[in-house]
């Protein structure tokens, strides 16, 4: 599993010392190489955090495994964005109770956005006595300390402080993939969209130092990485609060200047912070993919206002126009919420018309889920779940037609792809274009992890192409 770990001198020495002690303790106490299982819910930020959890576990001498019933340490890295993800966590954490009966030395930890809510942390404390360690989003670099304290007989660990504005660099990492990797560039969110829990559980926006980011990107390119995904809750407000004057547009120009054949992706962008300067930077930087994930959430101005999104439908469409004009081969994706409290069917139709107007290559669609503590959770919400489900299906059907049309129009084009994985269909590998086409190509799997020019030849549920 281990593809890459790195440790430089900025990861706190005391955590390295705790890691050493955990390693020694486990060897003496367990008499074998201990195994650790990391279970991740939610967004790319969480996936990226989990790669660091794995890196720290490897530093502590654990072997990473996929099966919970073989593990000596299990950690759940949770998501709080919607209720559904939380329900799965309660069930899966509950199941560790019986695993502990078989393996009494098993340590169970829960971290991430969900536990950062007081009511959730309280429920773990009171009703889940077999959960040993609970910690929040801003202290996860202290995992070695938490494990050490618990295995050496300490109390159950609860560490949920959100005051930590400092960014800890050089946490060991297991990137898991040898050619695609994430680089978080900023943490937290200051936007307080009225439906969203993220600002409460990930704290205020903090941007990493541009030099740290560029160094990490350089190191990855040197190691052969072909795709770097820059991550943040709102990447285009990158740099706010730093005093070097480097904003997101400047940052991607700096990364684009790194020598080597690789591509740069980023998410998520907030329309209110998408500037002309950034659109021009994407246009000019040939390593930046010709794609924007630009969530609009709702196509109706009244709903956008109550959502506290701070842009109008017209402003959003003008940004799309500008991006299409400056970057002719650009493609778009978006997040959409259906059934926000008080949304009417007429208002929802504005979302449908916006989807038709922009022509997204694909969408991430969600039925509104009330999140305790957010303003929207107290707003009247008269539309039934069943009715919202119908609207949701209508949105999916609308998008399906658009995706099919765009895919048909792609036949005949030549695109550069990065081969990413084997396809479920025997003999094919899947290449991803700089936009969002997934192209099935009959080629040897040794090409996975490299770029190639592909001609798109056919659309039959998926796109097929041939190597040029």
Containing H/E element for 311? none
Beta 107-112 vs 133-135: how paired, if at all?
Answer: parallel
369 interface partner picked from ligand 5AD, ligand SF4, none, CB below 5 to 8 A per type: ligand 5AD
For residue 133, the number of C-alpha atoms closer than 13 Å in the C-beta half-sphere is 27
Q: Note the residue count of the chain.
A: 468
Does the protein bind ligand 5AD through residue 369 (CB under 6 A)?
Answer: yes
The minimum distance between CB 116 and ligand SF4, in angstroms, equals 13
- Among the candidate windows 108-116, 126-134, 207-215, 363-371, which touches ligand 5AD by CB under 6 A? 363-371
**CA torsion, points 155, 161, 166, 170, in degrees to nearest 10?**
40
Beta 362-367 vs 331-338: how paired, if at all?
Answer: parallel
Closest CA to 41 of 85, 98, 97: 85
| C-alpha pair distances (Å), 64 with each of 4, 68, 71, 179, 444 | 13, 11, 9, 20, 29
92 interface partner picked from ligand SF4, ligand 5AD, none, CB below 5 to 8 A per type: none
Does the protein bind ligand 5AD through residue 81 (CB under 6 A)?
Answer: yes
149 interface partner picked from ligand 5AD, ligand SF4, none, CB below 5 to 8 A per type: none
Q: Which residue is nearest to ligand 5AD (CB)?
A: 335
Q: Which residue has the tokens 């959502």?
A: 307
The minimum distance between CB 234 and ligand 5AD, in angstroms, equals 10
- Separation CA 172–CA 148 (nearest Å): 17
In the numeric block, which tokens belong to residue 7? Answer: 């440790």
For ligand 5AD, the binding residue among 151, 228, 327, 337 (CB under 6 A) is 337
The minimum distance between CB 280 and ligand SF4, in angstroms, equals 23
Largest CA-CA distance found in the chain, in angstroms, rounded: 67
- Separation CA 41–CA 49 (nearest Å): 11
269 interface partner picked from ligand SF4, ligand 5AD, none, CB below 5 to 8 A per type: none
In the numeric block, which tokens belong to residue 255? Answer: 């990364």
Containing H/E element for 120? helix 118-127
For ligand 5AD, the binding residue among 138, 247, 297, 331 (CB under 6 A) is 297
Closer by beta carbon to ligand SF4, 191 or else 398: 191
For ligand 5AD, the binding residue among 159, 223, 335, 381 (CB under 6 A) is 335
Closer by beta carbon to ligand 5AD, 301 or else 326: 301
Q: Could you list the residues that contact ligand SF4 (CB under 6 A)? A: 189, 191-193, 196, 198-199, 233-234, 270
Contacts of 338 (CB under 8 A, 6+ apart): 348, 351, 365, 366, 367, 368, 388, 391, 392, 395
Containing H/E element for 218? helix 210-222
Does the protein bind ligand 5AD through residue 272 (CB under 6 A)?
Answer: no
- How many chain residues are in contact with ligand 5AD, going by CB under 6 A? 12
Closest CA to 81 of 335, 252, 292, 285: 335
Closer by beta carbon to ligand SF4, 199 or else 342: 199
Closer by beta carbon to ligand SF4, 189 or else 358: 189
Does the protein bind ligand 5AD through residue 371 (CB under 6 A)?
Answer: yes
- Among the candidate windows 210-218, 277-285, 311-319, 365-373, which touches ligand 5AD by CB under 6 A? 365-373
> Torsion-angle region of residue 449: left (phi > 0), alpha (psi -120 to 50) or beta?
left
- Separation CA 376–CA 369 (nearest Å): 10
For ligand 5AD, the binding residue among 368, 437, 451, 464 (CB under 6 A) is 368
The minimum distance between CB 22 and ligand SF4, in angstroms, equals 34
- Separation CA 322–CA 403 (nearest Å): 22
199 interface partner picked from ligand SF4, ligand 5AD, none, CB below 5 to 8 A per type: ligand SF4
Q: Of residues 180-199, which lie at the interface with ligand 5AD (CB under 6 A)?
A: 195-196
- Separation CA 41–CA 46 (nearest Å): 7
For residue 411, the number of C-alpha atoms closer than 13 Å in the C-beta half-sphere is 12
Does the protein bind ligand 5AD through residue 44 (CB under 6 A)?
Answer: no
Closer by beta carbon to ligand 5AD, 4 or else 340: 340
Closer by beta carbon to ligand SF4, 191 or else 403: 191
234 interface partner picked from ligand SF4, ligand 5AD, none, CB below 5 to 8 A per type: ligand SF4
The minimum distance between CB 75 and ligand 5AD, in angstroms, equals 22
Q: What is the DSSP track for 35-81?
A: EEEEEE-SSHHHHHHHHHHHHHHHHTTPEE-S-GGG-SEEEEEE--S
Does the protein bind ligand 5AD through residue 304 (CB under 6 A)?
Answer: no
Does the protein bind ligand 5AD through residue 308 (CB under 6 A)?
Answer: no
The SS3 assignment for 151 reads helix
Q: Interface with ligand 5AD by CB under 6 A: which residues? A: 81-82, 195-196, 295, 297, 335, 337, 366, 368-369, 371
């Amino acid at each position: 599993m281990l593809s890459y770990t790195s440790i430089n001198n900025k990861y706190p020495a005391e955590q390295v010392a705790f890691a050493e002690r955990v390693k020694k303790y486990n060897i003496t106490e367990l008499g074998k190489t201990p195994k650790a299982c990391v279970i991740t819910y939610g967004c790319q930020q969480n996936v990226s955090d989990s790669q660091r959890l794995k890196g720290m576990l490897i530093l502590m001498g654990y072997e990473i495994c996929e099966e919970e019933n073989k593990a000596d340490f299990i950690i759940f890295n949770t998501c709080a964005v919607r209720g559904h993800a939380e329900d799965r966590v309660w069930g899966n954490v509950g199941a560790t109770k019986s695993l502990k009966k078989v393996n009494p030395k098993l340590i169970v930890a829960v971290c991430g956005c969900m536990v950062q809510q007081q009511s959730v942390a309280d429920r773990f404390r009171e009703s889940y006595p077999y959960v040993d360690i609970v910690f929040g989003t801003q202290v996860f670099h202290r995992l070695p300390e938490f494990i050490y304290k618990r295995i050496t007989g300490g109390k159950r660990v609860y560490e949920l402080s959100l005051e930590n504005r400092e960014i800890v660099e050089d946490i060991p990492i297991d990137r898991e993939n040898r050619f695609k990797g994430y680089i978080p560039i900023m943490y937290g969110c200051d936007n307080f969209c009225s439906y969203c829990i993220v600002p409460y559980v990930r704290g205020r926006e903090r941007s990493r130092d541009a030099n740290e980011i560029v160094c990490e990107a350089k190191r990855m390119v040197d190691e052969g990485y072909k795709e770097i995904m820059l991550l943040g809750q709102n990447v285009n407000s990158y740099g706010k609060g730093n005093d070097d004057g480097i904003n997101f547009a400047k940052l991607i120009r700096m990364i684009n200047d790194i020598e080597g054949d690789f591509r740069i992706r980023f998410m998520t962008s907030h329309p209110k912070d998408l500037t002309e300067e950034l659109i021009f930077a994407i246009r000019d930087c040939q390593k930046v993919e010709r794609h924007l994930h630009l969530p609009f959430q709702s196509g109706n101005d009244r709903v956008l206002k109550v959502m506290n999104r701070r842009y109008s439908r017209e402003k959003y469409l003008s940004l799309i126009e500008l991006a299409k004009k400056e970057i002719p081969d650009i493609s778009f994706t978006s997040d959409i919420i259906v059934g926000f409290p008080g949304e009417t069917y007429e208002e929802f139709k504005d979302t449908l018309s916006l989807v038709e107007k922009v022509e997204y290559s694909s969408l991430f669609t969600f039925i509104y889920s009330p999140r305790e503590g957010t303003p929207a959770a107290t707003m009247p919400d008269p539309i039934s779940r069943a009715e919202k489900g119908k609207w949701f299906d209508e949105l999916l059907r609308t998008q399906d037609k658009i995706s099919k049309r765009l895919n048909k129009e792609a036949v005949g084009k030549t695109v550069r792809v990065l081969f990413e994985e084997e396809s479920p269909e025997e003999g094919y590998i899947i290449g991803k274009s700089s936009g969002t086409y997934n192209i099935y190509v009959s080629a040897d799997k040794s090409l996975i992890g490299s770029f190639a020019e592909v001609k798109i030849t056919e659309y039959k549920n998926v796109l097929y192409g041939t190597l040029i």
